[in-house]
């Protein structure tokens, strides 16, 4: 991959002023999707433990996670650092959740809900535990990824805006300099092509004269 | 080689209605051409044919040496700016301006550079993160222009871009368009029904009526030497006063007054002796020294000049434009004359085979 020139780096940073942080947003939403997959399987269990008041807490927690992640995804899209930290907190909570009901279900061999035609016996509880584990870990990983990207990009943007506001970087001048650079490159390429053509013609002429 | 070459362009719609008749025009590189005419005269249809939004029934269109008659719009390398801006409401100004380049899958660095350069030209840098609804009409129109500029097309097409703006904004946008044309040195085809826009912006004006080109020329030519009665009455505000009469022994005689002609005019009209013709005089070429009696009906002081409306012989409405501040009252009578150097003579309008009126040609 070609190394970027300082002007290209400035332009890349400047783009952030007008473009949303889509990668961070997409990752946060993906984290939310994995969370949905997790609770879809979680609420399929019908054992007595889960049909107590615990289900109420679980639903509330899930709703809080969903709303928080959605809100954060909208804010990290706009390079808001604070919400990146919120995403880290939610990610940590998702990891902690593994030690809640999924682990309890595994230990008590009650993870036996039908799942896409698969009906595990109590001894096969570990299969669904792993599925729940994967969903929660994937959700946490996405949220951490969104947070990391969000922080990196927002720090870059803040630094860039400071430079632009202080006059250290003049975007108009950078754009003009790059255009001039492009023009010079085009002229150089044209000259080189013409020279190469001339050289070839000379060679052909020389070979025609029997000099080669 | 002209940048745009339009030859014998005809547009006939499916129902058989012909909107444009034999349109011919060579547009030079960097020229600002304005198509002007009343509603329904075929100017927008012509522009849309150049853009590729309407099929060309007959004729050819060559853009920069390439025959584009049958080419789809995307292959013509042109950009069009519409009257209603056609901006995407859900996108920011930056995204709107970058949209066409994004569709072409251009490198995002290049897109950014082009958008920033266009925003700099149009003074839109501080608006790039806003949505179109947050901008004024003039700013939206500038965004629409910016969207055209970023594409760096061979030809810019403008379809009545200032019609939605108020008079003050239209004035400032006109000035901006002139500056923009100078900056970009772009080839522009511009459609308007507003003669002020046409006269102030154009390098050359194409005046159209009923699908026919009436005259092509620079603004001063159209104003001072109109080719026919249509151009004479369409260009100029207030319009030219027209009097129908007959030429007899070096005198223009109409029902309302007789007006002696000078030697030069008599020579010009020697072939029309005894024939009916039309005399045209612009309001500003009417003087208060003469023998034609004008019965004043209205006096409009506009600050820098005065428009005096009146009737000759109690029938013919006439408008005069005097440079001075006048205080005539309705019912006053004054005597007026015509600047002999600025009197225009036209043949009478005729009717063609299809029953359409053909404006009377200028006598020169």
Structure tokens at A66: 């969903």
Cα gap B242→B360, rounded to integer Å: 12
Planar angle of CA B68, B163, B149, nearest 5 degrees = 45
Tell me if B337 sits within 8 A of B260, measured CB to CB. Answer: no
Q: Is A165 on the interface with B (CB under 8 A)?
A: no
Looking at residues B34-53, what average pLDDT do you find? 94
Is B1 a residue whose pLDDT tops 50?
no
Q: Label residue A212 by pLDDT band (50, 70, 90).
A: very low
pLDDT tens track for B169-183:
888 888 888 988 988
pLDDT tens track for A34-80:
999 998 888 777 666 666 777 888 889 899 999 999 999 999 999 99
pLDDT tens track for B98-139:
999 999 899 999 999 999 989 988 889 899 999 999 999 889
Residue among B220, B159, B225 at smallest CA distance from B194: B159
Sort out which chain A residues have CB atoms less than 8 A from B116's CB and list them: 14, 171-172, 175
Nearest neighbour of B109 by CB, restricted to A8, A17, A171: A8
Nearest neighbour of A11 by CB, restricted to B92, B113, B120: B113
Find all residues with CB under 8 Å of A32, minimum gap 6, and list them.
Answer: A66, A69, A70, A73, A139
Is the Cβ pair B109, A171 closer than 8 Å?
no
Q: How far is CA A46 from the centre of its chain?
A: 36
pLDDT tens track for B207-228:
999 999 999 999 999 999 999 9
Residue located via tokens 């928080």: A68
Residue located via tokens 């507003």: B194
CB atoms within 10 A of CB A2: 5
Which ipTM was obtained for this model? 0.75
Neighbouring-strand partners of residue B81: B158
Q: What is the pLDDT of residue A106?
A: 84
Hey, is B242 helix, strand or coil?
strand
Task: Tally A–B CB contacts below 8 A.
Answer: 30
Q: Is A175 on the interface with B (CB under 8 A)?
A: yes
Q: For chain B, what percent of residues have pLDDT higher than 90?
A: 72
pLDDT tens track for A15-27:
999 999 999 999 9
Pairing of strands B187-192, B155-159: parallel
Q: What is the pLDDT of residue B2?
A: 58
DSSP A114-177: -BTTB---GGGHHHHHHHHHHHHHHHHHHHHHHHHHHHHHHHHHHHHHHHHHHTS--HHHHHHH
Hey, is B19 helix, strand or coil?
strand
Residue located via tokens 């300082």: A6
């Amino acid at each position: 991959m070609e190394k970027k020139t300082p002007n290209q780096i400035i332009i890349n940073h400047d783009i952030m002023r007008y473009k949303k942080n889509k990668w961070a947003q997409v990752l946060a939403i993906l984290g939310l999707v994995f969370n949905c997959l997790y609770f879809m399987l979680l609420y399929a269990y019908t054992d007595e433990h889960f049909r107590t008041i615990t289900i109420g807490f679980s639903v509330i927690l899930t709703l809080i996670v969903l709303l928080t992640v959605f809100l954060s995804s909208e804010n990290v899209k706009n390079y808001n650092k604070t919400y990146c930290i919120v995403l880290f907190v939610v990610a940590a909570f998702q990891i902690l959740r593994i030690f809640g009901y999924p682990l309890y279900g595994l230990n008590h061999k009650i993870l036996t809900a039908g799942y896409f035609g698969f009906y595990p016996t109590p001894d096969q509880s570990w299969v669904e535990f792993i599925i729940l584990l994967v969903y929660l870990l994937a959700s946490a990983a996405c949220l951490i990824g969104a947070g990391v990207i969000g922080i990196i990009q927002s720090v870059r943007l803040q630094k860039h805006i400071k430079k632009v506001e202080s006059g250290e970087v003049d975007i108009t001048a950078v754009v003009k300099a790059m255009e001039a650079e492009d023009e010079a490159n085009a002229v150089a390429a044209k000259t080189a092509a013409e020279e190469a053509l001339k050289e070839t013609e000379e060679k052909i002429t020389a070979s025609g004269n029997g000099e080669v | 080689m002209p940048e745009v070459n339009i030859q014998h362009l005809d547009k006939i719609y499916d129902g058989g209605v012909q909107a444009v008749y034999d349109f011919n025009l060579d547009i030079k590189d960097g020229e600002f051409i304005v198509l002007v005419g009343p509603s329904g005269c075929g100017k927008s249809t012509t522009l849309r044919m150049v853009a590729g939004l309407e099929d060309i029934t007959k004729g050819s269109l060559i853009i920069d040496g390439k025959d584009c008659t049958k080419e789809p719009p995307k292959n013509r390398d042109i950009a069009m700016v519409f009257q209603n801006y056609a901006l995407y409401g859900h996108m920011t100004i930056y995204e709107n301006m970058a949209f066409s380049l994004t569709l072409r899958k251009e490198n995002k660095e290049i897109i950014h550079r082009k958008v920033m350069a266009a925003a700099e030209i149009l003074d839109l840098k501080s608006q790039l993160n806003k949505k179109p609804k947050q901008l004024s009409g003039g700013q939206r129109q500038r965004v629409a222009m910016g969207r055209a500029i970023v594409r760096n097309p061979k030809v810019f097409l403008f379809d009545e871009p200032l019609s939605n703006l108020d008079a003050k904004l239209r004035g400032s946008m006109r000035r901006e368009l002139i500056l923009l044309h100078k900056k970009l040195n772009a080839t522009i085809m511009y459609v308007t029904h507003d003669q002020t826009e046409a006269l102030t912006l154009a390098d050359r004006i194409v005046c159209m009526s009923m699908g026919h080109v009436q005259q092509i020329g620079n603004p001063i030519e159209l104003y001072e030497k109109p080719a026919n009665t249509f151009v004479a009455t369409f260009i100029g505000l207030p319009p030219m006063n027209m009097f129908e009469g007959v030429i007899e022994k070096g005198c223009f005689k109409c029902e309302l007054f007789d007006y002696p002609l000078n030697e030069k005019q008599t020579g010009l009209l020697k072939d029309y002796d005894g024939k009916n013709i039309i005399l045209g005089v612009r309001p500003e070429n009417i003087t208060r020294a003469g023998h034609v009696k004008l019965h004043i009906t209205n006096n409009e002081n506009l600050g820098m000049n005065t428009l005096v409306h009146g009737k000759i012989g109690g029938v013919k409405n006439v408008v005069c434009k005097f440079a001075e501040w006048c205080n005539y009252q309705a019912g006053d009578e004054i005597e007026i004359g015509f600047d002999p150097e600025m009197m225009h003579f036209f043949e009478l309008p005729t009717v063609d085979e299809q029953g359409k009126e053909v404006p009377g040609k200028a006598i020169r």
